[in-house]
Amino acid sequence: MTTGTSRHNGFTARLLSMFVVTILLFSIPAISVADASIDLSIDLSILEVPPQPQPVSEVLRQLLSDTLADVLIGDDGASELLASDPGEVAEAIRTGINIVIEPKGYAVTDLRLDLEASPIKAELTLKPVGWTESDSHAVGGVVLTFEPGNLDAFWISRISERLNSDPGYIEFFGGYLIGLPTQAVDSNWALQIVRPYIESENSANSLLPSYSVDYDIVIDQMATVTLTFHPKGDLVERIRPRMYSFTLLNVVMDRFRERLLAAADFIEGIPRDEIELAKDEIEARLSEAIENDSLAEDLDAYASIQIELLDYEPVVVVDVRIESRRYDTSVETFIDFGNEALDSSEIQCRLGFLVTRGVEIFTNLNYFTNDSALDTDVGLGLRPYKGSFVGIGYDLDREFVKYYAEQDLYPGLSLRAEIFEEDTLNEFGMVYQFQQYIAAGAFTNGDNEFWARAIFSL
């Protein structure tokens, strides 16, 4: 009895020692294998069901190997423990290990020891807590979701498309998450081990260099990875619209300016590189927003938009041309300088109606302030393509025919011409629109007369 009692007491002491050592080891959740040394006196073989992500597998191997080495060969009482029944020793060690690792989500379901081998051989089976043939209680797949944060759905959609274009992206997360236990009391233990690898190796950093990424990972049968993207770097701070129209008054364009600024706020705070890549889609979205305005529908108007990023300012310039398919209206005041014969102010009002696509009938009302004269023209105009107008009219007061032509060269820059039967009345000019309501141009009559013109548009 004395010998049996002594042996039992020694065995109990070794078991308590194992508990202490194991607890100390598992209190450090992410030991790097590179920084720890595995005791070569233990030949450890681990069967993982299901296989664990490599970083977790390495940490578990390190912890189990060190624990077995400390228990079996760690002090002077080891020889007595090694002389015990291997099955009893293995079962006691297995029980002790599970007390510590089950809160982490793992359980050693089988442990076999060969205490007579040199080095000592240990074979164990490691499974998630609650594992059964029908339910592994481990992550079986990954679902990727996106948290909008401060980003518009437009940018989230583009980010999603680019990430999904990488066929290995979800597999990347699966390599670090599939197999992790779902029933862990300390649910973050294994996740804390793999998270640094996910954050450092994630291909989103190269696919989307203009964003920083936050990860929220929920462990379940299907692990949910929620990505939140934050713009970084050279961000756009302001939108600068420039509005143009042949057929609509500026007071009407102001309504569309407000609509544009409301629709374009999703651009602000976005990296320049991302806006450059999405220019066509942005232009289409802004055009659609304007065309869906109730006033645009009443005017049967369409929008043509071009955006430009300024090199030295955090600004996006948005050039907007809006034209009606039904009406042609304009009110302009001309002030000429340099033409001694014709220096005066003139107010010109055009009222037109498009009878079919590209064809309009119109009347021009021209009021000259120097002699308070009002001239009226009626005519027929053609708009063969965007930014062009040619027409023929009849001056009811002078009783002769005149011709009109306008051609856009670039947003804000255009050619204008009015050709009369009397050559000295001709006007050929180039006009630049400085601001929505203000433009200026240089004109000639083609007969050695040149003058400048200031233009104010209502």
Task: Give the pairing type, strands 427-435 and 373-382.
Answer: unpaired
Neighbours of 223 (CB within 10 A): 22
**How many Å from the N-terminal Cα to the C-terminal Cα in the chain?**
114
Specify the higher pLDDT residue, 257 or 66.
Answer: 257
Lowest mean pLDDT among 11-20, 105-114, 260-269, 387-396: 11-20
**For 43-60, what is each residue's pLDDT tens digit?**
899 999 999 999 999 999
CATH topology for 327-457 is Porin (2.40.160)
Virtual torsion, Cα 232, 234, 235, 236, nearest 10 deg = -170
Lowest mean pLDDT among 152-166, 273-287, 334-348, 403-417: 334-348
The answer to whether residue 334 scores a pLDDT higher than 60 is: yes
Phi, psi (5° rounding) for residue 100?
-90, -40
Quote the pLDDT of residue 34: 35
Listed by start position, the domains of the chain span 2-128, 141-231, 238-322, 327-457
The tokens for 47 are: 């069967």
Quote the pLDDT of residue 35: 38
Q: What is the mean pLDDT of the chain?
A: 85
Task: Give the pairing type, strands 141-147 and 222-231.
Answer: parallel
Mean per-residue pLDDT, 85-101: 84
Quote the pLDDT of residue 149: 85
Query: Buried (b) or exposed (e) across 19-30, using 16+ Cβ within 10 A?
Result: bebbeebbeeee
Lowest mean pLDDT among 4-18, 206-220, 257-271: 4-18
Residues 6+ apart with CB under 8 A from 227: 144, 145, 146, 147, 204, 213, 214, 215
Quote the pLDDT of residue 78: 54
**For 394-438, what is each residue's pLDDT tens digit?**
988 888 899 999 998 888 899 999 998 888 888 999 999 988 899
The answer to whether residue 191 scores a pLDDT higher than 90 is: yes
Quote the pLDDT of residue 369: 82
Side chain identity, residue 83 = A
- pLDDT band of residue 167 (cuts 50, 70, 90) is confident
Quote the pLDDT of residue 378: 94
Cα–Cα distance, 269 to 277 (Å, whole number): 15
Helices 279-291 and 250-263: angle between axes, nearest 10 degrees: 130
How many residues are given for the chain?
A: 458
- pLDDT band of residue 37 (cuts 50, 70, 90) is very low
**For 113-139, what is each residue's pLDDT tens digit?**
887 777 888 899 999 999 998 899 999
**For 197-251, what is each residue's pLDDT tens digit?**
998 888 787 788 899 988 899 999 999 999 999 999 899 999 999 998 888 999 8
Cα 407 to the center of its chain, rounded Å: 39
- pLDDT band of residue 340 (cuts 50, 70, 90) is low
Query: Buried (b) or exposed (e) across 42-61, using 16+ Cβ within 10 A?
Result: bebebebeeebbebbbbbbb
Mean per-residue pLDDT, 249-278: 93
Residue 139 class from Cβ within 10 Å (0-12 exposed, 13-18 middle, 19+ buried)? buried
Cα–Cα distance, 205 to 24 (Å, whole number): 36
Long-range contacts, 78-82 (Cβ 8 Å, 24+): 78/14, 80/7, 80/10, 80/11, 81/10, 81/11, 81/14, 82/115, 82/120
Q: Which of 21, 26, 3 is nearest to 189 (CA)?
A: 26
Cis? peptide before 119, omega within 30° of 0: yes
Residue 215 class from Cβ within 10 Å (0-12 exposed, 13-18 middle, 19+ buried)? middle
Cα–Cα distance, 211 to 230 (Å, whole number): 5
Cα 286 to the center of its chain, rounded Å: 17
Measured CA to CA in angstroms, residue 326 lies from 99, 305, 377, 417 at distances of 82, 20, 20, 23
The answer to whether residue 86 scores a pLDDT higher than 80 is: no
**For 403-415, what is each residue's pLDDT tens digit?**
999 998 888 899 9
Cα 59 to the center of its chain, rounded Å: 36
DSSP summary character for residue 386 = T
Mean per-residue pLDDT, 379-397: 89
Mean per-residue pLDDT, 83-104: 83
The answer to whether residue 1 scores a pLDDT higher than 60 is: no
Instruction: Determine what percent of the chain is predicted with pLDDT higher than 90.
Output: 51
Residues 6+ apart with CB under 8 A from 28: none
Identify the bridge partners of residue 286 per DSSP, sorted by sequence position: none
- pLDDT band of residue 105 (cuts 50, 70, 90) is very high
Mean per-residue pLDDT, 52-81: 79
Residues 6+ apart with CB under 8 A from 192: 29, 30
